[in-house]
Amino acid sequence: MMLVGYRPTYFRRNFIVVSHRLFWLLAVTLCLAGCAAKTKRNEPLAIQTQKLSKSPMDPELQKNSSAIYHYLVGELAYQDEDFERALTNFAKASELTSEPAPSLHSRLAELYVREGSLEKARIEIEKALEVNPESEQDLFLYAGILETTGKEDESSQIYLRLIKKDKNRLDAYLLLAGLYAKQERYNEGVAVLKRLARNPEYRTLAWYQIGGLLEQKGDLDGAARYYLKVYSGGSRGANAVADVIRVYLQAGRVDSARQFCRRVLARDPHNAIARRVQDSLNVDVENFTTAVAQLQGIKRHSRDANESHLKLALLEIEKQNYDEALRQLNLVLAVNPENSEARFYLASVYAATGRSKDAVTELKKIGTHDPMFVRARTFAAFVLMQSGALEDAEQVAREAWAIDKSNRKVFFYLISILRDEGKFVEAERLVSQVANEFPEDAELRFQHGVVLHDLKRESEALEKMEQVIRIDPGFSDALNYIAYNLAERGRDLSRALELVKRALESKPENAYYIDTLGWVYYQMGDYESAEKELGRAVQFSDKDAVILEHYGDTLQKRRKFDEARQVYNLIIEIFSSGKLTNGRAEEGKAAAERAKDKLERLNILESSPPAGVED
C-alpha cells in the first residue's frame, strides 16, 4: 500500500457469563446469610425457613432478607463497575447484617479506600479479619490502611507477619522497607531488603531499593555501590544510570561521574541521560550541580511512604495483576488525591481492563498546571480515539497542544485524529503551518504529504515525499510512498525498485513495503518474483484487501486460476464480514467490487490461451 496505516489495538472488556454470575452470587449469599466462623453448624437456608414458618413478618427475618437484597444489588453493581451504587448497597448490607460477613466487609473496605474514606475502610476490614484473621489479602489491605493513617508500628508488625508466613512476599518486603525509610530507620530497611535479595528473582530490585535507602541516609558511596551493582547485573540496569550519576555528583565525585558516562555511552551510544550529563560537565565543570539538577529523569528518592505503594502498583501493573495495582493506587490517592502520577497509572489500569470511560475521567482530573497534564491529555486522546469518540479526542489533544506546542507526539496525535474525522482541510492547515516553521523536519514534511494525499492533491503530496528523502535519505515510509506511486503509474520502475529496496533495509518484514516490491515486479512483468513477494506480503499483513487483490492479480497472470479465485473470494468475504475498520472499509469495499468483476472474468480466461489481462 502507498500509505502505512496503523492498526490500533482495542481494549476488550471481559464480560461475565450470566448463568455463572448468578451461581456465584447464590454461593456468596449463602455465606452472607449465616456462614460466619461460629460453633453452630445450622444451614443458613434452614434457619431462614424455620423463621419463616414461625412468623412471616418476623423483624429479624426481614432484616436478614434486606441485607441479602442489598448485598446482591451491590455485587451486581460492582461487577458492572458502578462503584458508587455498589458502595451504597454494601454499606446498607453491612448495617443490616447481624454477624460479620467477611466477603462483604472486605469488598466494602476496598470501596471505602477507593472513595478516600480510610477510617470507614479500617472498621470494615477489621470486621472481616475478626472472622478470617489469616486472610493475606485482607491483612495486606489492613496494613496499607494503617500505614496511610499514621499507625506505622501496627502496620510494620503485619508486614513482618506476612514475610514470616511467606519469605518471598515481595510486596510486604518493599512496603516494610519503605515504611522504615519514612521513619528514618534506614539500617532496618536495608536489612529487610538484604533478606529479599537472597531470592535471585528479586535481587536486582532489592539492590536498587537498598541504593535508594542509603542515598536517603546520606551514605552516597554506599548508594553508588548498589546502583552500580544494578547497572552491571540485571535487566533493570538502564534504570540505574541516572541514579549512579546523581549520587556521584552529590558526593562531588565529578571524575567518577564522567568516567561512568563514558562507560554507559560505550555500551549504549544513544543513552540520552549520559550524553546530556557528559556534555554538561564538559561545558561547565564548576556549575555541574545546577546543570545536572535540571536534567529530566535525575530524581531523588522520596521519603514518602506512598512512594512504596506507587512502586508496588507499577510492579503489579507490569505483571498484569490489575486488582492489586488498583488497591495500591487507591491507597496512594486516598492519602494524596493530588498525586497525579498515581492517578495517571490508575487511568492506565482502567484503560488496560476496558474501562475507557473511567480512564478518561481520571485523566481529566489532572489539572492544567500539573507537570503531568500534557501526558495525561495525550493519553486521554489515545483512549478516546481507540473508543471512537473522535470529537472528544480532538478536544483533549488540542488542550494538550495548547499547553505545549513543542510536543511532537501531541501534535501528531492531533493530526491523526483530524484525519480519522475526515477533517483533512484543517489537518493540512495545521501541519502546513508547523512544517513551515521547521523546514528541515522530515517527519513534519511526511505528515504534510500524507494529508495532501488525503485531499487527493497527489502531485503536491509526491513533491513533499521527495522533499522528505532529500532531508533524510533513509526515511522508509517516504521511500515506500514514492516507489508505490511510481509503480501505480508504471513510470520509472527501476527507480521504484531501488527506493522500495532501500525502505526494506530498515523494515524487512513490513507488509506494505513488501507489497510495493511485489507490485513493482508485477508492473515490470516479472510475475514470478511478484508472486513470491506478494505471497510474503499476505503472510505479514492482517488480510489487507489491496495486498490480497495484488496477490490475486498476480496468480491470475500466472494462470493459477483456482488460487486466484480463492483470494478474490476472501476479499469479498472480509468486506462482507464487516471486519474492516479504521478507515479501511471504503478501500475494502472498492477492492471487493473489483474482486467480483475479476471473478466473472476468470471463467473467460480459463478457456483462453495464456495472455495478459487488463486491470
- Minimal CA–CA distance to 306: which of 190, 152, 83, 120? 152
Quote the cell numbers at residue 145.
490502611
Domain that holds residue 101: 19-133
Q: Would 213 be classed as within a structural domain? A: no
- Minimal CA–CA distance to 254: which of 245, 262, 263? 245
Q: What is the pTM of this model?
A: 0.65
Residue with cell 512476599: 169
Q: Which residues of 30-47 are buried (b: 16+ CB within 10 A; e: fewer)?
A: eebbbbbeeeeeeebeee
What's the rounded Cα separation, in Å, for the pair 527 and 594? 20
- Minimal CA–CA distance to 343: which of 323, 328, 324? 328
- Per residue in 430-445, pLDDT (tens digit) is 999 999 888 899 999 9
Q: Would 39 be classed as within a structural domain? A: yes
**pLDDT for 236:** 61
- Per residue in 50-102, pLDDT (tens digit) is 444 444 556 777 777 888 888 888 888 888 878 889 899 999 988 888 777 88
List of the chain residues with pLDDT < 70: 1-58, 234-237, 282-306, 578-585, 608-615
**pLDDT for 83:** 86
Q: Would 41 be classed as within a structural domain? A: yes
**pLDDT for 133:** 92
What angle in degrees, to the nearest 10, is found between the helix axes of 424-437 and 442-454? 160
Q: Would 389 be classed as within a structural domain? A: no
Residue 165 amino acid letter: K
Tell whether the torsion through CA atoms of 475, 481, 486 and 490 is positive or negative.
positive
Q: Would 351 be classed as within a structural domain? A: no
- Per residue in 153-162, pLDDT (tens digit) is 999 999 999 9
Q: Would 338 be classed as within a structural domain? A: no
Alpha helices, H only, 370-475: 373-386, 390-403, 408-420, 424-437, 442-454, 458-471
**pLDDT for 484:** 96
Contacts of 569 (CB under 8 A, 6+ apart): 595, 599
**pLDDT for 305:** 55
Query: How many separate domains does the chain show?
Result: 1
Residue with cell 460492582: 78
- Per residue in 501-555, pLDDT (tens digit) is 999 999 999 999 999 999 999 999 999 999 999 999 999 987 888 999 999 999 9
CATH code assigned at 74:
1.25.40.10
Query: Mean pLDDT of all residues in the chain?
Result: 82
**pLDDT for 580:** 52
Q: Would 111 be classed as within a structural domain? A: yes
Residue 317 amino acid letter: I
Cα–Cα separations (whole angstroms), residue 421 to 183, 356, 368, 433, 584:
54, 20, 26, 20, 13
**pLDDT for 306:** 66
Q: Would 116 be classed as within a structural domain? A: yes
Quote the cell numbers at residue 193.
531488603
